[in-house]
Amino acid sequence: NAGVTQTPKFRILKIGQSMTLQCTQDMNHNYMYWYRQDPGMGLKLIYYSVGAGITDKGEVPNGYNVSRSTTEDFPLRLELAAPSQTSVYFCASSGAQGPNTGELFFGEGSRLTVL
């Protein structure tokens, strides 16, 4: 049972480059989330989705874009990478009861460095 899978695990970008972080889940979860975590800090919500075709901004959406064309996939796009986007990115999902129980399932993270 794969759960939530993120790729790549590590990436170094140059300032101004663009890239997409991939996230896929095989649990048929409606809710998906992208978080970033800076060293020694908590999780900040970038974007989230309550189902295919529906996305919404979180706390820190600037510089990012998402799409949700299928239930399984929720890619995060970074346009014009900046050093401030150096962080660990986590994708998470939850089922129908997840928002009511606070239970999210996380991927292993993607560590991004922008130089």
Partner 1 sequence: GQSLEQPSEVTAVEGAIVQINCTYQTSGFYGLSWYQQHDGGAPTFLSYNALDGLEETGRFSSFLSRSDSYGYLLLQELQMKDSASYFCAVRAAGNNRKLIWGLGTSLAVNP
From 71, 107, 112, 114, residue interacting with partner 1 (rule: CB under 8 A):
107
Q: Give the span between the Cα atoms of 96 and 74, in whole angstroms.
A: 17
| SS3 assignment, position 106 | strand
Asked if 27 is part of the footprint of partner 1 (rule: CB under 8 A), the reply reads no
Phi/psi zone of residue 97: left (φ > 0), alpha (ψ -120 to 50 degrees), beta?
A: alpha
Which one-letter DSSP state was computed for residue 84? G
Establish if 83 lies at the interface with partner 1 (CB under 8 A). no
The residue within the footprint of partner 1, chosen from 13, 21, 36, 48 (CB under 8 A), is: 48
Q: Closest separation between CB of residue 11 and partner 1, Å?
A: 16
**Residue 88 in tokens:** 């660990």
Residue 103: CB minimum distance to partner 1, A: 5
- Which of 37, 29, 34, 30 lies closest to 45 in space, CA to CA? 34
Choose the binding region for partner 1 from 18-26, 50-58, 65-73, 76-84 (rule: CB under 8 A): 50-58
Going from the C-alpha of 52 to that of each of 8, 16, 81, the distances in angstroms are 23, 30, 27
Residue 1 as a binder of partner 1 (CB under 8 A): the answer is: no
Residues that bind partner 1 (CB under 8 A): 31, 33, 40-45, 48, 50, 56, 58, 90, 94, 98-109
